[in-house]
Amino acid sequence: MTKSINLTLKVWRQPGSQSSGRLETYEARDISTDMSFLEMLDVINEQLTLEGAEPIAFDHDCREGICGTCGAVVNGRPHGPEKGTTLCQLHMRHFSDGDTIVIEPWRARAFAVIKDLAVDSSALDRLIQAGGYISASTGGAPDGNAILVPQETAELAMDAAACIGCGACVAACPNASAMLFVGAKVSHLALLPQGKPEAARRVAQMVREMDRLGFGNCTNERECEAECPKEINITNIARLNREFLKARFFSSEK
Amino acid sequence: MNWIVQTFASSVGKKTMMAVTGLGFCLFLAAHLAGNLSLYVGRQTFNAYAEHLHSLEPLVKVMEAGLLFFAAVHVITGLVLFYQNFTARPSRYAVTRSAGGRSVGSRTMPYTGILLLGFVVYHLLNFHFVDKTGTTIYDIVAAAFTDPVTVGLYVCAMIVAAFHVSHGFWSAFQTLGANHPKYMPLIQGAGLVFSLLVGLGFGLLPVYLLAVS
Ligand code: HEM
Ligand code: SF4
Ligand code: FES
């Protein structure tokens, strides 16, 4: 049933990437529990605009959990407290009247804050450019069926391909490591026949780029898989490690 | 850069070194524990075990050199990873909350590791770099554990070791890419059992020796 709740928000405000930021407190009055978290922020922003204040900058696009653009750390939890949910799909019914909610941007050396909650996560694009693709011509749609892929393998690859590149794994990792993201991309392509020919070069280059971009090292804390909105499994990180060792010691890839 | 250097200097390479050396230590702990259980039997058995071990002198020397090399790799790489992971997030969160992935063991790896390093140095000074003329190793050990403070220190160190291994064991398999839907639960269970064995097996020894002294 629809209810209205009142909340206290503590939101990270930072005018630009070079400036310092701080948490500012806002009162959110009469928030419908049918609203999404981002709609709640829209309401606050309308209020701020009417008051002549600067609205809170935050990233969003599809608002249906598929593009990977949105995301903020809510009370210490990337994308909020609900399992398998992006911030845009998080509903206010999961909060209670009188709650205080602390909202912070993704924090990692490899992700710079652009403004408030908006973060430059182009480091993930750079990782894709380093090898998260195939360059073989795979023909048209009918040619896709010419190479048989066992159902189980296809499922594993599709599970890995569900990654939307939101960066929550990096935000959740105590070491700000991007291993779940890279593990998902490496797994998705290494599992399929179209991705195999370039598997060794892909993993070698993606790991090199990941280190160069200043992400941390994985220590198997498992916070990433617990926070990932697409519930990407850490077996993908194990596969990344396997693929890396295989590429380094058993391929001619330098 | 040479491909071998590049491999081990990379994030996954450093993790691999941690996993291989860490599992090496687990093997050492298992052997060390098996040998030390003879302390429960008594003076003769333990001294006989120690003598037998030293009759394999060249092998023991090689193993010691290997352990020292592994320790250097494990400690230096561990400290580098600790530093790099700390600096990978220059501005910290105001609020942090676990989603349930971390364990007490995983959270404290660098700290339990540093404590273990301190303990290993102390332990070697106690029982390795001592004058053994005119006495036996059993007498040295038994004499040391008549002091309740020493016993307390050893018990605490073994609890620390148990936590380190409780995460380290399965983590090393995951790092080496050995995560299999059938075997991972077994590996995790074995890690917990092994950490309990290390904690109880080593930890109760000094208490037992204090009690019978
Ligand atoms: C009895 C001695 C020890 C045993 C059995 C042991 C075992 C292990 C194992 C199995 C791992 C997991 C490796 C992985 O996750 O891939 C590990 C990790 C670690 N060890 Fe030890 N270790 C010991 C002593 C030490 C010492 C003396 C230090 C001193 C600094 C240390 C520091 C660390 C650190 C920082 C990690 C985490 C590495 C990472 O970032 O993944 N350990 N240890
Ligand atoms: S692995 Fe999950 S948390 Fe990480 S970027 Fe992909 S979808 Fe987001
Ligand atoms: S806005 Fe697209 S996933 Fe949230």
Assign residue B188 the CATH number of its domain: 1.20.1300.10
DSSP code at position A23: E
Provide the CA A151 distance to its chain's centre, in angstroms.
27
Question: Residue A246 burial (CB < 10 Å; 0-12/13-18/19+)?
Answer: middle
d(CA B108, CA A41): 37
Assign residue A130 the CATH number of its domain: 1.10.1060.10
Report the pLDDT averaged over residues A140-156: 91
Whether residue A134 sits in one domain with residue A105: no
Predicted confidence at residue A144, as pLDDT, reads 80
Tell me which of A37, A42, A61, A90 to substitute to probe ligand 3's pocket, judged by most ligand atoms within 8 Å of the beta carbon: A61
Strand segments, DSSP code E, in chain A are: 4-13, 22-32, 73-74, 77-78, 100-104, 112-115, 118-120
Closest CA to A23 of A98, A80, A103, A100: A103
Report the pLDDT averaged over residues B83-88: 97
d(CA A210, CA A204): 10
Q: Which domain holds residue A32?
A: 4-115
Total count of domains within chain B:
1
The three-state DSSP-derived secondary structure of chain B is CCHHHHHHHCHHHHHHHHHHHHHHHHHHHHHHHHHHCHHHHCHHHHHHHHHHHHHCHHHHHHHHHHHHHHHHHHHHHHHHHHHHHHHCCCCCCCCCCCCCCCCHHHHCHHHHHHHHHHHHHHHHHHHCCCCCCCCCHHHHHHHHCCCHHHHHHHHHHHHHHHHHHHHHHHHHHHHCCCCCCCCHHHHHHHHHHHHHHHHHHHHHHHHHHHHHC
Confidence band for B132, pLDDT divided at 50, 70 and 90? confident
Q: Range with the lowest mean pLDDT among A120-134, A142-156, A223-237, B156-170?
A: A142-156
Q: Range with the lowest mean pLDDT among A1-5, A69-73, B89-93?
A: A1-5
Residue B7 inside a domain? The answer is: no
Q: What residues contact A104, with CB distance under 8 A and at least 6 apart?
A: A12, A23, A72, A73, A117, B93, B94, B95
DSSP code at position A153: H
For residue B85, pLDDT beyond 70: yes
Last residue of a domain, one of A68, A95, A115: A115
d(CA A70, CA A171): 13
Predicted confidence at residue B57, as pLDDT, reads 84
Whether residue A67 sits in one domain with residue A155: no
The single residue listed with the structure tokens 């295989």 is: A246
Residue nearest atom 7 in ligand 2 by C-alpha distance: A163
Residue B134 inside a domain? The answer is: yes
For residue A120, pLDDT beyond 70: yes
Query: Which residue type, as a one-letter code, is found at position B103?
Result: S
Total count of domains within chain A:
2
B83 CA from centroid of ligand 2 (Å): 25
Last residue of a domain, one of A115, A145, A165: A115
Predicted confidence at residue A141, as pLDDT, reads 84
Give B162-194 pLDDT, tens digit per residue: 999 999 999 999 999 999 999 999 999 999 999
d(CA B187, CA A2): 47
Confidence band for A227, pLDDT divided at 50, 70 and 90? very high
| Claim: this prediction has a pTM higher than 0.80 | yes
- Assigned token pair, A171: 């935000």
B81 CA from centroid of ligand 1 (Å): 11
The verdict on the CB of residue A61 being under 6 Å from ligand 3 is yes
DSSP annotation string for A107-125: -BTTBEEEETTEEE-HHHH
Predicted confidence at residue A137, as pLDDT, reads 85
Tell whether B135 is within 8 A of chain A (Cβ).
no
The verdict on the CB of residue A165 being under 6 Å from ligand 3 is no
Whether residue A9 sits in one domain with residue A67: yes
Which atom of ligand 1 is the closest one to the Cα of B18?
Answer: 13
Q: Which domain holds residue B67?
A: 12-91+104-212
Predicted confidence at residue A35, as pLDDT, reads 96
Assign residue A28 the CATH number of its domain: 3.10.20.30
DSSP code at position A39: H
Residue B205 inside a domain? The answer is: yes
Residue nearest atom 11 in ligand 1 by C-alpha distance: B168
Contact B15/A218, CB-based, under 8 Å? yes
Predicted confidence at residue A42, as pLDDT, reads 97
d(CA A228, CA A128): 18
Tell whether A73 is within 8 A of chain B (Cβ).
yes
Nearest residue on chain A to B3, alpha-carbon basis: A254
Predicted confidence at residue B1, as pLDDT, reads 65
Q: Range with the lowest mean pLDDT among A11-20, A183-192, B119-128, B132-141?
A: B132-141
Predicted confidence at residue B108, as pLDDT, reads 95
Predicted confidence at residue A30, as pLDDT, reads 94
Residue B57 inside a domain? The answer is: yes
Give A167-209 pLDDT, tens digit per residue: 999 999 999 999 999 999 999 999 999 999 999 999 999 999 9
A123 CA from centroid of ligand 2 (Å): 13
Predicted confidence at residue A216, as pLDDT, reads 97
Predicted confidence at residue B204, as pLDDT, reads 93
Type and span of the H or E element at A226: helix A223-227
Mark which residues 102-141 of A lie under 8 Å from B by CB. Answer: 102, 104, 107-110
d(CA A45, CA A15): 15
Higher pLDDT, A224 or B126: A224
The single residue listed with the structure tokens 């909060």 is: A95
d(CA B17, CA B176): 10
Last residue of a domain, one of A115, A148, A178: A115
d(CA A227, CA A234): 12
d(CA A160, CA A183): 8
